[in-house]
Structure 1
């Protein structure tokens, strides 16, 4: 596994040879990945079902239901990372999966017997978001313990591809479930997917890499001290202290493009609702295509160059979207945005995960998720307000400029280097 660069600023931007053993991922990882991606489809379907049920009580109720999931997830994420590092990612993942089974089955029972009032929906959404805060860092840390260093980039790329498929399938599956069996049926279906991933995770003990699995969760620090220690590790590590701010600014510049500004652009041009789907589908196609290619062929040997390339492609796609004269060109530009964001993630993700000490995997993953979520939360109202004040095109060009500026900053400062021990492969 990658040796942490904590407490050192050694320059390690060196080429590495392709490891021919990187082609085949361990069966333990593939089974775990399959289980978690099926569970992700169930989660997305349940989220769609909760949103639909909340919409029955009006727009404000629907918004509260969605916020009730994201708020506790965000607030408790760092605590979840500290718990993962103290007790181990596999153990926390098992407990979180089991807790989610209980929560969604309880939701099904309550909805079927007493009906799902707005406060009932909000209460269960709070529970789901709370469990997510512990489940996300645990799930994010496990790939490091299931694959070799040379396989990590491909393993995470395949995970990203599966996540994109889950997002694409989740909404229509949720709509079908709500229409056919109601919210209770969607909750039961989600519980079944969690039982599947629970069964797979129970078998992971043999698959965990023993030399690193033994190190996880051995810290004697309390949880509060552990939170501060996680921040210290990021601050001392040359790669991590640069990678996390880059991820945050990239999230602010790239993530709002299709989700927020795309629909505003369509409305401004009066292209019709179908153009929104075209842009969203184009972005998904770009993400999925690059992720599958990276999973099959590997990524650039120098991760910093891959980060810059991804940001550059995303910036180009965003500018093209701003200037698109018709829906077809907007869809093509969205493909570039998705492809660029995927290239970025396929290089930055392994860089961060390999740069984290095995004793701090959960906290580093929690910090990565937190800075991205916080940046997106702060950026959305800013870009939206700018679009209202000076136009959507100007707002999109602002996103392109911000994303391009991050790429230039990484190049000029030569800030992102490979941690020792990380083998980035390219075929």
Structure 2
């Protein structure tokens, strides 16, 4: 009798011990801190140059190209490879910001100069954000994606905590010029780490970064599959950016899991962003808590979100991820509604911890599900859709939030926003494929 040896799969290397993931994480952290320092420098330079209205104009203009070009950034990431796009966009941000810092050595900041930089930076961000979101599935195995989202969440918390003080210190010591230089150097630090990152090839593709758009486009593959079997599809026309974009949107809309996930993201973000950004400022002002009180609430939120990220980073996988995502989103929504009725700063800060913990866990699980469900060749476009809601569409609710708080007070506005977040979780629970979704083991 001969014994048959069954090959065993080598154990996965945990993401926090994978050098490839750690290089990406270091680059991402440096880049996010650079982002925080850049926005601090831009705000201070605009404040010293023009009026309050002009400062708001400079900061708002940067979001316009980000919103307009975001979906196109997803096409670019899928066509040329996310690693190339991330490296190129980070290098562009480094050059633009260091160029502005060098210019300010010889002249004072002018309003037109800051507007140009804000527009260029926003356009580059439209390339960077979808590409950086599409990278995790290409640098590790599917079973580690939840842990990578946890590590990414921790990096975001570190950037939020370190970026503002670093930017403020740079402005205090050397003005906006030094702050812009510090931001540019942080972008420069991320570049060699990104260059050292190695990505996994796409299925049936030998070189992951040299995809031929005329032969390997998902849009053309789907068109060929739709043709009758007895017909020769003939020569395939060159894939255009518009065709790839519409194909990616169609793929996401028809996907049994991605479509509901993106809908949940859209609804939840509309309810989450207004209260947690502008709403907190107005709430603290109405209650007389001041900037210090708002700072404690924000610190509580950051603590909760950091705990959620640490949980995912350590645990690596949450069973019944779809169900947990929907339920934690709804619990976080209840905490958002309760925030406006907290009688003291201390209770508001504790409520902020709950918001950060549950909403942060829901957001990380949602991102992990998107990345495991999407075909890697479509991931840039799928990521661009979710990023469009989180970074471009949802901030448009700020004027509505401000006007509503002025008219009816913070309580009704926070409760209405919480209702939107609950509706997002309810949509997820109503969709069987999403409610039963699992992360890979």
- TM-score between both structures, scaled by the size of structure 2: 0.87
2:252 match: 234
Deviation at 1:291, TM superposition (A): 0.5
Greater relative CO, 1 or 2 (CA 8 Å, sep 6+) = 1
Give the alignment partner of residue 210 of structure 1, picking from 186, 197, 201: 201
Q: Which residue of 2 aligns with 1:118?
A: 111
Pairing 1:401–2:419 present: yes
- Give the C-alpha shift of residue 386 in structure 1: 2.4
Matching of residue 35 in structure 1 with residue 53 in structure 2: no
Alignment of 1:148 onto 2:127? no
Instruction: Show the counterpart of 1:296.
Output: 314
Q: Aligned partners of 1:115 and 1:168: how far apart in 2?
A: 29
Query: Aligned residue for 1:49?
Result: 41
CA distance in 1, matches of 2:164, 2:260: 35
Task: Measure how far apart 1:273 and its partner are.
Answer: 2.5
Residue from 174, 179, 184 that aligns with 2:172: 179
1:264 corresponds to: 282
Asked whether the 8 Å contact 2:405–2:413 carries over to 1, the reply is yes
| Structure 2 residue aligned with 1:372 | 390
In the alignment, which residue of structure 1 is the partner of 2:262? Answer: 244
- Contact 1:73–1:133 (CA<8 Å) still a contact in 2? yes
CA RMSD between the two structures: 2.0
Q: Which moved more, 1:180-189 or 1:99-108?
A: 180-189
1:375 to partner: Cα distance: 4.1
Shift of 1:277: 0.8
5+ long unaligned stretches in structure 2: 1-9, 215-238
Partner of residue 342, structure 1: 360
Check the 8 A contact 1:355/1:419 in 2, yes or no.
no
Partners of 2:37 and 2:163 within 8 A in 1: yes
Aligned counterparts of 2:329 and 2:356: Cα–Cα separation in 1: 11
CA distance in 2, matches of 1:97, 1:138: 11
Residue 383 (1) aligns with residue 401 (2) = yes
Counterpart CA distance in 1 for 2:15 and 2:288 is 48
- Over 3 Å counting, the alpha-carbon distance change for 1:24 and 1:136 in structure 2 is closer
- Cα distance change, pair 400–175 in 1 and its aligned pair in 2 (3 A): same
Q: Return the alpha-carbon distance in structure 1 between the equivalents of residues 36 and 186 of structure 2.
A: 12
Pick the aligned partner of 1:282 from 300, 310, 315. 300
What is the match of residue 423 of structure 1?
A: 440
Contact 1:254 / 1:337 at 8 angstroms: preserved in 2? no
CA contact (8 A) 2:308 2:357 kept: yes
* 1:359 aligned partner: 377
Q: TM-score, normalised by structure 1?
A: 0.89
Summarize the Cα distance change of 1:20–1:384 in structure 2 as closer, same or farther, 3 Å threshold.
Answer: farther
Deviations 1:194-224 (A, max 9, x none): 22211112122xx311355745644432111
Residues 202 and 208 of structure 2 are in contact (CA less than 8 Å); yes or no, is this contact kept in structure 1?
A: yes
Contact kept, 8 Å, 1:22 with 1:150, in 2: the verdict is no
Name the CA distance, whole Å, in 1 between partners of 2:202 and 2:380. 17
Quickly say closer, same or farther: Cα 1:312–1:43, change in 2 above 3 A: same
For residues 271 and 87 of structure 2, what CA distance do their matches in structure 1 show? 35
Q: In structure 1, what is the equivalent of residue 151 of structure 2?
A: 158
- Counterpart for residue 219 of structure 2: none
Task: Tell me what 1:72 maps to.
Answer: 65
